[in-house]
Amino acid sequence: MSAFMNPEQAVADRSAPTAQPRQRASDIRARGEPFTWALGGALGVGCLMIIGFLLMVFWNGVGTFVPKPIAVVTTTGGEITAGEATRTELYRPTPEVVAALSEAARQTIADRDGFAERTLYRIGNFDFYSEDFRWVSAFDVIDVKYPKDIVLVERTEWGPFIGHIESIAVDGEVIALDSVHDPRFAEAHAQARARWSQIQDIERHQIGAVNYRINQQRLTLRRIELKDGRDSQAYSETKRAADAETAELQSEYERLTEQAQALRQRNAGMTVTLEELGGREKTIGIDEIVRTYPANDLSSSEKISIYLSRWWEFLSDEPREANTEGGVMPAIFGTFAMTLLMVIAVAPFGVVTALYLREYATQGRLVAFVRISVNNLAGVPSIVYGVFGLGFFAYVLGGSIDQLFYPERLPNPTFGTGGLLWSALTLALLTVPVVIVATEEALSAVPRSMREGSLACGASKWQTIKYIVLPRALPGIMTGIILAMARGAGEVAPLMLVGVVKLAPELPVDGLFPYIHLERSFMHLGFHIYDVGFQSRNSEAGKPMVFVTTLLLIGLIFVMNISAIVVRNRLKKKFVGSQF
Amino acid sequence: MNVDARIEFDATQYHVKDGGQGVVLDIKDLNLWYGTAQALYGVTMPIEKGLVTALIGPSGCGKSTLLRCINRMNDLIDGLKITGEMRLHGEDIYARGADVIALRKRMGMVFQKPNPFPMSIFENVIYPLRVDGVRDKALLEETVERALTGAALWNEVKDRLDQSALGLSGGQQQRLCIARAIAGDPEVLLMDEPCSALDPIATAKIEDLINDLVGQYTIVIVTHNMQQAARVSDNTAFMYLGRLIEYGDTEVMFQTPKTARTQDYVTGRFG
Ligand SMILES: Nc1ncnc2c1ncn2[C@@H]1O[C@H](COP(=O)(O)OP(=O)(O)OP(=O)(O)O)[C@@H](O)[C@H]1O
Ligand SMILES: [Mg+2]
């Protein structure tokens, strides 16, 4: 019975001579070090790629708004090109081009194996040149100058202008300007812009609100008409009230239009004449100018102030010029609102599902099947969710909501088309597996001793879950929600089908009842990147915007995640604590 | 496996110490299977009211299993099968339709490892009342003081009741768990090796506590420590391989064990 060894015998065993002493030094393969190095190396490469990518985005994004000097380049043909140098590269000129060159230039190219250098200049003045960018080959360049009097004018139309400000006209009086620093220009510009923003406010907001109320009257009337018919007492009563109200609103509308017209009139009298380097002139309203600066004559503090004001414009303004200029405020807002709404939808749904699967369902084949299906859902291409969201949420669900609650607006869809709510729900569907898996894991990590302690106190299963299991699992659940949020905020493909648009005139939240408009389509930073980078007139013009917007999107996701992580760590400290 | 004839124990030969209050818990011919593996074989054991009953035996002999049958903690385990009878004041605990939650409310349980909940000390103690929906603040405060005093912890924590229970030391946590177990005024207190994670001083405190609680509560305690069993218990049950080998007055059993197995175990010759 005894498995114990006799001590003497054991000693004898150990000292017994063996014919071939076993080798003691361990083989390097046995220690597995090369394997460890390979793993570490792979990790290193992965990290480097990610860090490199982030650095590139950061560097390009941060540099975009720095005011750059304007070079005036004279080329062999006597042609003059003025613009910001954006990048320089090597290319292979065609043989005909090379043949036409001077001996020395040919030699340089031959020395470089047929490659020549060229620089891309952002030349602006699209209205004159019909192009934004121009390549200048190094062998063509005769002379590069940086004249101090050249200015860059950012306009609300036609992109930037590069050249000189000739004169301004205020109410018919022409004032010739000899310096870009002339205070009379600054003063006129400030006045015109102030009026311009007033016009914007009137036309966009005040008239918008009046229009909205007129429309409300029409819809109320239409609702009554659908319900009681045209000949009913209620209809004629409502119609009378609505007509009176509409007439009042109409006069308000006219008053506002007049006001805007008056301001416009005053601004029309204030123009500025610009001259490009080739001598062609153009006269535009002063209020069309966003900002001007002498690009080659800036002090550091002026540069910083231009840099910051461009950032501010980017963050707080609406886009203009097919999204390649101006700001992205609606997109920031849309991304944030959609992500928030998605979290509100996905968190309870995912947690409840996981609770049922883990705590209540009998662990059998069916549950295993459900679990596998949920995990596989995470692998479905996101565009499929988009199709589903459009088909089910927007057309079926939204269509029925329209039939039931908004019949007066038909055939114009209210909820029956893509919108903020459907986007959030589609993404919630897309990310719910993440939450379920994380929650299940968190629930199963709650120590058995805690549950038993609670049950032994006479708590029911639900009380145990409510008081003990859920609080304890909350940090893990939060992790799942954070992951879902990160995934959802960066998703674009399905949104293109269920509610994201290139340009949304109205934010989903505004001052008009019911204040939050879940049915509205919205802008999204991810889609904005796609649109600006690949759908605009000139992708080169949009490139800086792509980087800044990417930086912003990464920053937004980063901030949302960090806040969620801070909350999670608080919870962890509170509920998990240290067991002695 | 054939059980050695010497260790057969006649169920009629109990010489238990009489608490004078009758039997609180009557276990009759209890068999238990974890799936197909039988863990308890025909355990028959009346537990006297108001006394401390110790369960001893080598590891894996079924002490915890038996203890956890008393408040039906084993219900959580899949594939569990039980036959036999267990009556609390004559009521069958395992009767069809018996209210498990109500049953557990009549018992308190202290586990091997302290398992305070991640809440304040106050909330921990009143947990049994909280789940009953008690809102009366005066009653809750009174209960906390009574339970913590009962668990000899009141003086150490009375100024930090709103702090997290996880900040207490291991011994304090265990006493907190005892306070929680007695806060609901249970009839029976079940303790599964309550001192195994504690140092000798904390152990001594808990033993004192058990001695204080006796009379008020019926206590069933599992222990691996023979001295502890001798010090705190009135009656002792020795179990071996899922069977109750010997059950009786602690003093008698430790001095004149009836079977050789018991003798070997209590004198420390195997275990
Ligand atoms: N959940 C379970 N499933 C299957 N078998 C179990 C389970 N719990 C206990 N057992 C088995 O039942 C037998 C009795 O276990 P139990 O935990 O009651 O022993 P114990 O006397 O408390 O031991 P210890 O002194 O080590 O705590 C053991 O053989 C054990 O392997
Ligand atoms: Mg045990």
DSSP codes joined into one string, A268-320 = HTEEEEEE-TTS-EEEEEGGGEEEEE-TTS--HHHHHHHHHHHHHHHHHS-EE
Strand partners, A118: A89, A137
Chain B residue numbers with beta carbons less than 8 Å from the beta carbon of A579 are 166
**Identity of the amino acid at A534:** F
Give mean pLDDT, residues A493-510: 82
Chain B residue numbers with beta carbons less than 8 Å from the beta carbon of A455 are 73, 76, 104
**What integer pLDDT is reported at residue A21 of this predicted model?**
64
B242-270 pLDDT per residue, tens: 999 889 899 888 888 888 888 888 887 76
B144 — pLDDT class (breaks 50, 70, 90)? very high
Q: Is A99 exposed, middle or buried (0-12, 13-18, 19+ CB in 10 A)?
A: exposed
**What integer pLDDT is reported at residue A23 of this predicted model?**
64
CB-CB under 8 Å, B173 with A457:
no
Least confident stretch, A313-317, A572-576, B135-139? A572-576
Distance A191 CA to ligand 2 centre (A): 86
B142 — pLDDT class (breaks 50, 70, 90)? very high
Is the pLDDT confidence value at A25 over 80?
no
Measure CB to CB from residue B128 to each of A458, A577, A578 and give the nearest one.
A458
**For ligand 1, atom 3: residue with the closest CA:** B34
**For ligand 1, atom 8: residue with the closest CA:** B65
**What integer pLDDT is reported at residue B180 of this predicted model?**
93
Ligand nearest to the CA of B57: 1
Give mean pLDDT, residues A479-490: 86
B122 vs B151 pLDDT, higher one:
B122
Report residue A419 as tokens.
Answer: 């919108």
CB-CB under 8 Å, A467 with B131:
yes
Kind and range of the H or E element at B213?
Answer: helix B200-213
CB-CB under 8 Å, B118 with A574:
yes
Distance A358 CA to ligand 1 centre (A): 25
Is the pLDDT confidence value at A5 over 70?
no
Ligand nearest to the CA of B58: 1
Is the pLDDT confidence value at A210 over 60?
yes
Distance from CA of A444 to the nearest CA of B (A): 14
Chain A residue numbers with beta carbons less than 8 Å from the beta carbon of B131 are 454, 457-460, 463, 467
A18 — pLDDT class (breaks 50, 70, 90)? low
Give mean pLDDT, residues B96-109: 90
**What integer pLDDT is reported at residue A576 of this predicted model?**
66
A10 — pLDDT class (breaks 50, 70, 90)? very low
Give mean pLDDT, residues A380-384: 90
CB-CB under 8 Å, B105 with A458:
yes
Distance B113 CA to ligand 1 centre (A): 16
The three-state (H, E, C) secondary structure of B27-96, written as one string: EEEEEEEECCEEEEEEEEEEEECCCEEEEECCCCCCHHHHHHHHCCHHHHCCCEEEEEEEEECCEECCCC
Nearest residue to A101 (alpha-carbon basis) of A138, A72, A134, A143: A138
**What integer pLDDT is reported at residue A304 of this predicted model?**
93
Q: Which of A22-31, A331-340, B259-268 has the highest mean pLDDT?
A: A331-340
**What integer pLDDT is reported at residue A1 of this predicted model?**
42
Give mean pLDDT, residues B30-56: 92
Give the domain ranges of chain A. Answer: 71-146, 161-298, 335-578
Chain B residue numbers with beta carbons less than 8 Å from the beta carbon of A465 are none
**What integer pLDDT is reported at residue B13 of this predicted model?**
62
Test mutation, B68, B75, B115, chain A, max A CBs within 10 A: B115
**What integer pLDDT is reported at residue A11 of this predicted model?**
46
**What integer pLDDT is reported at residue A577 of this predicted model?**
55
Contact by Cβ (8 Å): B140, B126: yes
**For ligand 1, atom 29: residue with the closest CA:** B60
Nearest residue to A163 (alpha-carbon basis) of A3, A294, A25, A288: A294
CB-CB under 8 Å, B102 with A458:
yes
B44-97 pLDDT per residue, tens: 999 998 899 999 999 999 999 999 999 999 888 888 999 999 999 888 988 888
Nearest residue to B184 (alpha-carbon basis) of A539, A133, A453: A453
A506 — pLDDT class (breaks 50, 70, 90)? confident
Alpha carbons B14 and A92: distance in angstroms, whole number = 107
Q: How does the average pLDDT of chain A come out, rounded?
A: 84
Is the pLDDT confidence value at A102 over 70?
yes
Distance B191 CA to ligand 2 centre (A): 10
**For ligand 1, atom 17: residue with the closest CA:** B64
ipTM: 0.90
CB-CB under 8 Å, A463 with B131:
yes
Any residues with Cβ below 6 Å from ligand 1, and which? Answer: B 34, 37, 39, 57, 59-65, 77
**What integer pLDDT is reported at residue B270 of this predicted model?**
63
Alpha carbons B92 and B86: distance in angstroms, whole number = 6
A436 — pLDDT class (breaks 50, 70, 90)? very high
Q: How does the average pLDDT of chain B come out, rounded?
A: 87
CA A164, A170, A174, A176 dihedral sign is negative
B234 vs A533 pLDDT, higher one:
B234
**What integer pLDDT is reported at residue B5 of this predicted model?**
39
Alpha carbons B232 and B219: distance in angstroms, whole number = 10
Measure CB to CB from residue A457 to each of B128, B164, B168 and give the nearest one.
B128
Q: Which atom of ligand 1 is nearest to the CA of B55?
A: 21
CB-CB under 8 Å, B111 with A453:
yes
Q: Is B253 exposed, middle or buried (0-12, 13-18, 19+ CB in 10 A)?
A: buried
Distance from CA of B12 to the nearest CA of A (A): 33
Q: Hunting for tokens 């009842």 — which residue is that?
A: A513
Please count the residue pairs, one from chain A and one from chain B, whose beta carbons lie less than 8 angstroms apart.
80
Alpha carbons A487 and A472: distance in angstroms, whole number = 25
Distance from CA of B126 to the nearest CA of A (A): 10
Q: Which atom of ligand 1 is nearest to the CA of B63?
A: 21
Measure CB to CB from residue A452 to each of B73, B166, B181 and give the nearest one.
B73
List residues of chain B with CB under 8 Å from any CB of chain A.
Answer: 71, 73, 76, 78, 101-102, 104-105, 107-109, 111, 113-118, 127-128, 130-132, 164, 166-170, 173, 177, 180-181, 184
Strand partners, A547: none
**What integer pLDDT is reported at residue A17 of this predicted model?**
52
Give mean pLDDT, residues A575-579: 56
B8 vs B219 pLDDT, higher one:
B219
* Superfamily (CATH) of domain A335-578: MetI-like (1.10.3720.10)
**What integer pLDDT is reported at residue A502 of this predicted model?**
82
Return the residue of A nearest to B116 by Cα: A450
Percent of chain A with pLDDT over 90: 20
Alpha carbons B176 and B121: distance in angstroms, whole number = 8
Measure CB to CB from residue B115 to each of A453, A458, A471 and give the nearest one.
A453
Strand partners, B85: B28
Test mutation, A457, A578, A579, A580, chain B, max B CBs within 10 A: A457
A516 — pLDDT class (breaks 50, 70, 90)? confident
Distance B75 CA to ligand 1 centre (A): 15
A185 vs A351 pLDDT, higher one:
A351
Is the pLDDT confidence value at B238 over 60?
yes
Distance from CA of A459 to the nearest CA of B (A): 6
Chain B residue numbers with beta carbons less than 8 Å from the beta carbon of A454 are 117, 127, 131
**What integer pLDDT is reported at residue B83 of this predicted model?**
92
Strand partners, B55: B222, B237
**What integer pLDDT is reported at residue B66 of this predicted model?**
93
**What integer pLDDT is reported at residue B53 of this predicted model?**
93
Ligand nearest to the CA of B34: 1
Is the pLDDT confidence value at A179 over 90?
no
Distance from CA of B14 to the nearest CA of A (A): 30
**For ligand 1, atom 30: residue with the closest CA:** B60
Show the DSSP H helices in A445-538 as ranges.
Answer: 448-456, 461-464, 470-489, 493-498, 525-534
Chain A residue numbers with beta carbons less than 8 Å from the beta carbon of B193 are none
Q: How many CA atoms lie within 13 A of A40 on its CB side?
A: 6
Alpha carbons A272 and A410: distance in angstroms, whole number = 48
Chain B residue numbers with beta carbons less than 8 Å from the beta carbon of A449 are 111, 113, 115
Give mean pLDDT, residues A299-304: 92
Give the pTM. Answer: 0.79
Report residue A482 as tokens.
Answer: 């954070």
Alpha carbons A144 and A142: distance in angstroms, whole number = 7
A321 vs A343 pLDDT, higher one:
A343
- Residues near ion ligand 2 (CB < 5 Å) are B 64
Contact by Cβ (8 Å): B121, B176: yes
A479 — pLDDT class (breaks 50, 70, 90)? confident
Q: Measured between alpha carbons, how far apart are the two ends of chain B, in Å? A: 19
Chain A residue numbers with beta carbons less than 8 Å from the beta carbon of B128 are 457-458
**What integer pLDDT is reported at residue B10 of this predicted model?**
53
Q: Hunting for tokens 């005036």 — which residue is that?
A: A72
Chain B residue numbers with beta carbons less than 8 Å from the beta carbon of A470 are none
Is the pLDDT confidence value at A234 over 50?
yes
The CA dihedral of B66, B71, B75, B76, to the nearest 10 degrees, is -100
